[in-house]
């Protein structure tokens, strides 16, 4: 037994030695290859400078936009009323449709009005006959009074009767004209062009009896008015700033443009113009009333609708606009982060005026050409203080960019391979 054990050990020892040598060589090679990977690059362990998005300050004239609540109103409103009394026979329009000026809307029974017109004509004929007779008598008395055949008193009475008859003729003609006008009121027409609402009376109703019955309402909604109010203190501050030269007028007497923002937050595409501002201040609210005119060719804006009005009353000269995420607003003041040419960061206090199109309008604190940091603040939280950065131009993110690849992924994905014969799914 001992001799057999010695022979096995002597036969396997060379193989074990060879395997051990190969393992040592592999481990040594792995140690050499892992060493460069742990190094921090050519700089001997230094981290690369983090990239931050910046925008370059560019002074320009920026319009100062004030957003105020307002309400729409028709530019012209006409109440259609019955000016003649009678029974309403027929309605000649479709409710809610557009009508033209002078278009027939209602028909009132004209029979009583026709009778009144005929009576006036008969009265006029009788007055004209009396006038002829009075004139003939006066003409016949004229030569007789000169020959003292009739007294002057009789001649004067004849002349007075003639003038009275002529006055009766004039009154009869006026009565005939009035009867014709009243007969014309039997056809009720639209006084203006616009959109008519619902009929306030139905066929068979007695209208115009004692007062002018309201039949319908026509509103002209192209253009449409928007009425809104502005704080008197804001108006005074703006005028004071204009007088001091801080701002310049946007154009015209008051505002260069008026934009309407609908209830869903979308902007109405057509631009309006400011018509007037009230000269007095409401003692209860401290507001000044303003009115603007907005074109409405498609009838999208309806009277009574509550909207918001963007009013541009002045322009800030040499102002800079920055994305809102670039400005830090606190009770101590507004600050931004400026990146110099060496990549060093510095806090800067700025003066903010107002917001326009999701951007802050900076009036003071920045110079032309300075780089303002907009993106990359989270990267700096992982870095030691004073770490230089690499400034790259900031681009506004597109919300649809992330959705496009996700939507295209199912179309470009390969179809799953069909299971082989006899293979389970």
Residue 47: count of CB within 10 angstroms of its CB:
12
Q: What is the pLDDT of residues 46-96, one digit of tens each?
A: 567 788 888 888 888 777 777 889 999 999 999 999 999 999 999 999 999
Q: 329 vs 358, which has greater pLDDT? A: 329
Residue 283 has pLDDT above 50, yes or no: yes
pTM: 0.59
Instruction: Average the pLDDT over 196-212 and give the result.
Output: 91
DSSP E strands, 92-143? 98-99, 104-108
Residue 116 has pLDDT above 90, yes or no: yes
Element (H, E) at 104: strand 104-108
Domain boundaries, the chain: 53-60+318-393, 62-73+221-317, 84-109+186-219, 111-184
Q: Does domain 53-60+318-393 have CATH number 3.40.50.1000?
A: no
| Token representation of residue 281 | 């201040």
Q: Give the separation between CA 285 and CA 277, rounded to whole angstroms.
A: 16
Kindly state which CATH superfamily the domain 62-73+221-317 is placed in: Efflux pump adaptor protein, beta barrel domain (2.40.30.170)
Q: Please indicate whether the domains covering 53-60+318-393 and 62-73+221-317 agree at the CATH topology level.
A: no
pLDDT at residue 256 in the model: 52
Report the chain's mean pLDDT, rounded to a whole number. Answer: 80
Identify the CATH class of 84-109+186-219.
mainly beta
Residue 203: count of CB within 10 angstroms of its CB:
12
Instruction: Average the pLDDT over 117-122 and give the result.
Output: 96
Identify the CATH class of 111-184.
mainly alpha
């Amino acid at each position: 037994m001992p001799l057999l054990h010695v022979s096995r050990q002597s036969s396997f020892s060379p193989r074990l030695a060879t395997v051990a040598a190969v393992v040592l060589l592999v481990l040594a090679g792995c140690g050499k290859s892992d060493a460069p990977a742990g190094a921090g690059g050519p700089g001997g362990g230094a981290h690369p400078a983090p990239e931050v998005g910046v925008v370059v300050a560019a002074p320009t004239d920026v319009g100062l936009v004030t957003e105020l609540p307002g309400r729409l109103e028709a530019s012209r409103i006409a109440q259609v009323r019955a000016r003649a009394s009678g029974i309403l026979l027929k309605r000649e329009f479709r409710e809610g449709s557009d009508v033209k000026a002078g278009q027939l809307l209602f028909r009132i029974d004209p029979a009583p009005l026709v009778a009144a017109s005929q009576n006036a004509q008969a009265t006029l004929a009788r007055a004209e006959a009396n006038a002829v007779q009075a004139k003939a008598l006066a003409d016949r008395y004229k030569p007789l009074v000169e020959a003292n055949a009739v007294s002057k008193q009789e001649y004067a009475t004849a002349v007075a009767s003639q003038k009275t008859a002529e006055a009766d003729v004039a009154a009869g003609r006026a009565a005939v004209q009035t009867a014709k006008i009243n007969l014309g009121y039997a056809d009720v027409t639209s006084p203006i062009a616009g959109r008519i609402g619902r009929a306030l009376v139905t066929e068979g109703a007695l209208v115009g009896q004692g007062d002018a019955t309201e039949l319908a309402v026509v509103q002209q909604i192209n253009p449409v008015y928007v009425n809104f109010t502005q704080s008197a203190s804001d108006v005074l501050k703006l005028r004071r700033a204009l007088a001091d030269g801080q701002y310049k007028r946007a154009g015209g007497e008051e505002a260069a443009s008026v934009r309407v923002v609908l209830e869903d937050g979308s902007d109405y595409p057509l631009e309006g113009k400011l018509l007037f501002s009230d000269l007095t201040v409401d003692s209860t609210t401290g507001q000044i009333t303003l009115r603007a005119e907005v074109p409405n060719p498609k009838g999208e804006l309806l009277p009574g609708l509550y909207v918001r009005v963007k009013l541009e009353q002045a322009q800030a000269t040499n102002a800079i606009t920055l994305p809102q995420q670039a400005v830090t607003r606190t009770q101590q003041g507004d600050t931004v982060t400026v990146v110099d040419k060496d990549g060093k960061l510095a806090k800067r206090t700025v003066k903010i005026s107002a917001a326009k199109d999701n951007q802050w309008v900076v009036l003071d604190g920045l110079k032309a050409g300075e780089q303002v940091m907009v993106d990359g603040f989270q990267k700096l939280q992982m870095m030691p203080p004073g770490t230089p950065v690499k400034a790259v131009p900031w681009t506004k993110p597109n919300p649809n960019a992330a959705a496009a690849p996700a939507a295209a992924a199912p179309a470009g994905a390969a179809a799953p391979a069909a299971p082989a014969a006899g293979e389970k799914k």
